[in-house]
Chain A
Amino acid sequence: MGSESLTYAVWHHTTLRYTNSVSLSYNEVRMRPRDRGSQRTLTFSLLSNPAAVPRSRVDYFGNYVHRVDVTGPHDLLEFVVDAVVENSEPRRRRLPEWSPEMLAANPQLEYVLPTRRVPLAQSTRSMWTEWNGEDRSFDAVIATAKRIPQELRYVSGATTVESSIDDLLAGGAGVCQDFTHLFLAMVRGAGWPARYVSGYLGPTGEKTFVEGQSHAWAEVCGADGRWVGLDPTHGEFTGAQHLRLAAGRDYSDVAPHRGLFYGRAEGARPDVLVRITRMSHQQVEIVHRGAAVHWQQQQQQQ
């Protein structure tokens, strides 16, 4: 925990409404922060309404998944996540390039192959050449992340969760999910393993509170096996304010909610509200002390 470390209280509220009462629903939720490097989740809770006991596992990509089965009639399902996450500025390292032979026998190969949402099309390959020429170095990767927000406009509502890279390029505007998919297509086309990261963007500087949606960015893997975060929405390296939730090949692997229900009803898009508060030193102290109190209590009981 360095001097630049920031601690955030995250409140993530999801509401699913069904047009009619459903008798049973099965849900997979990816909402527990996945710590890596400088990030640490100090406290976490996931509650649902109607109440159910979540069971957790870790998926193929290393994300936490909670299974929440709700039995009995319900026409509304809510998930509330409360977490305290601490993060500090990650190191901005320069990544060594891969040779195709090296990558062919490495598990990170998974992250250069095309997916449904990130096809490796001629359009994105040409864009890379237009922007970077024949340069496929990590500098060109950084340049690409910086250039995307200059070339495309961030317009909330310009696209939907199902929009493709082609939709983004045709309209010239999109949101973080679209920018990230485009960035992934470009760097993968240039031979760099890269993954989609979902998470939150905490307030920095003077601001101590934000309310809104979740965020998305990318991580690129070097030949040394190290991952570095790049945010193609803001055109920069990720910082202490980027709180990681889940990572995968594209949005489909990290979707925060996936579910099925029984009943004559239709499900609507979930309403999502995220509130993030940067905690003061005193508040952080309380969290730590709380943990210490419980720890002492436990020691005494033993």
Chain B
Amino acid sequence: MDELAADSDAAPGIVRHARESNPGRESAPNMATLRDSTLPLGADECVEADGSARGPYMELLGAVTRMRSELSSIRQEAQDWFVQREITFGTPTDGIAPIFPFDPIPRVIGAAEWRTLHRALSQRVMALDHFVSDCYGAQRALRDRVVPGQLVYTSTGYLRDIVGVRPPRSTWCHVSGIDVVRVQGTFHVLEDNVRIPSGVAYALEARRAMEDVAPEWFATSTVRRIDDYTTRLRRILQRIAPRPWEASIVLLTPGSYNAAYYEHKLLAKAIGATLVEGNDLIVSEDEVYRRDDGGGIHRVDVIYSRVNSDWLDPLVFRSESMLGAPGLIEAWRRGNVAIANAPGTGVADDKAIYPYVPAMIRYYLGEEPLIDNVPTFDLGDRTQRDHVVAHFDKMVLKPVDASGGYDIHFGRLVGSEERATLIDRIDADPRQWLAQEEVELSKAICMNPDGSLEPRAIDLRPFVLLDERPWISPGGLTRVAADPAELVVNSSQGGGSKDTWVLSR
């Protein structure tokens, strides 16, 4: 579940759930006084129960309150900033992709909170990388019954053609985006994206926009910089190159109709890679070359791929694919080209595997998980399936291999007739479904076009780069639900984003 895309899954988009209940908004008189004096209740991410700002938000909210009259113009400037730069997300209609919606009030994470989250995500990504490596190696975790072999062998992300391959530096998940949500003050992982996670460009642009339109806000807080992400990315790509001293890097995109095409262009430029599509690549004698516009041919050492791995090579995987190049996988197998993320990481990205990540952490690292999953149930297991049916109102049901927030069902909103149909669908193919307990996402203060404030559900996708050790860009992409009642936070469902601040102290 990473990239949005005509072919696969959605970019800065995932499925989040939150309860609709929103006491602060119900009573109009209360709202009016709040608007004048203090901050909206219900925005538990920013505001304590008594209405005072949470620690990390103290300075920012002070500044926001002081500049009350200028807020709508700041919002407008930020929107204009995105429009001028044509920062789009989504599939183009009539050749024009939609501008990515942006909320100008940053989300703030305190230094101590971030340290905890940083450790937890490092641990998680290390375990996921071990797992991918194990799936394509000795399959110890399967023999030791840590992860059911049946889930791996039936996963569409398990690519049999690459079993036995050791990628350079034995790293598979070079870039991951781990989606976390805060539930009653504690972060939980909602989803692991280790295929082609997208969204980092939107986080980088959000920061630049905020520095331009509200520089005074940065004066009050010590916000950690995020602009070295692309330097780090370039460095890990260089280090996996077969010829690191003169690595020629390309960014492989599915093309301009891909929802995250804007990000592909931006990242290619920032890391000094050539933006290519599958038909620009040619494989000859197990070496990869790219054709330039002038008909020249250049050797390629590293492919930063934003194409799902089962589309990379029509000779090996899907013969109908026009997105990759035939022979690419054999070139990679022989070590003549590096691909990031390595093909096959989808096996760790399968939602049916997600419930087993805490067990993987214990098994591979011998450590206790530092961050919890949202309670999740395997519908192939009779007992768990019956529990889900018995507690249907508390469940969210989603297909394991879809993304972009499609086909998600909130148990309590499903009518009794539809409920029977849905249960039939699940029973017919339990491997395709996953049930999670519905959790209440934290809400942050967001701004309406008229400058008024209201709470909306948010999540966070931090980006983890893995070489020998994980490196995590401070913050990540904060996504915002499209409106206060929205249960799903997903860019493909009309949600937007915010700048994400991590404080240095």
Contact = CB atoms under 8 A, between A and B. Distances in A.
A139 interface: no
Interface of B is mostly: loop
Interface string A102-120: 0011110110010000000
Interface stretch (B126-134, B148-156, B230-238): B148-156
Nearest to B286: A55
A235 B149 CA distance: 32
A69 B160 CA distance: 22
A113 B286 CA distance: 33
B315 A28 contact: yes
A60 B163 contact: yes
A59 interface: yes
A26 B326 contact: yes
A104 B315 contact: no
Contacts of A109: 149-150, 153
A67 interface: yes
B372 interface: no
Nearest to A248: B160
B327 A113 contact: no
B291 to A, nearest CB: 13
A52 B319 CA distance: 22
Interface in B124-170: 139, 142-145, 148-150, 153-154, 160-161, 163-164
What band does the interface of chain B fall in when counting residues whose beta carbon is under 8 Å from A?
A: 20 to 34
A59 B148 CA distance: 23
Contacts of B143: 105-107
Contacts of B161: 59-60
A121 interface: no
Contacts of B327: 26, 67, 69
Contact of A110 (B153, B285, B314, B319): B153
A60 B160 contact: yes
B419 to A, nearest CB: 25
Interface in B331-378: 333
A107 B333 CA distance: 23
A260 B326 contact: yes
Contact of B148 (A28, A69, A104, A110): A104
A110 B160 CA distance: 11
B330 interface: yes
Given A60-B160, A113-B154, A104 B145 contact: yes
A258 interface: yes
B319 A104 contact: no
B153 A105 contact: no
A60 B326 CA distance: 19
A293 to B, nearest CB: 34
Interface string A31-66: 000000000000000000000000101011100000
Nearest to A25: B326
B100 to A, nearest CB: 37
Interface of B: 139, 142-145, 148-150, 153-154, 160-161, 163-164, 284-286, 314-315, 319, 326-327, 330, 333
17 contacts: A26-B315, A26-B327, A60-B160, A60-B161, A67-B327, A69-B284, A69-B285, A104-B148, A104-B149, A106-B149, A109-B150, A110-B153, A113-B150, A258-B315, A259-B315, A260-B319, A260-B326
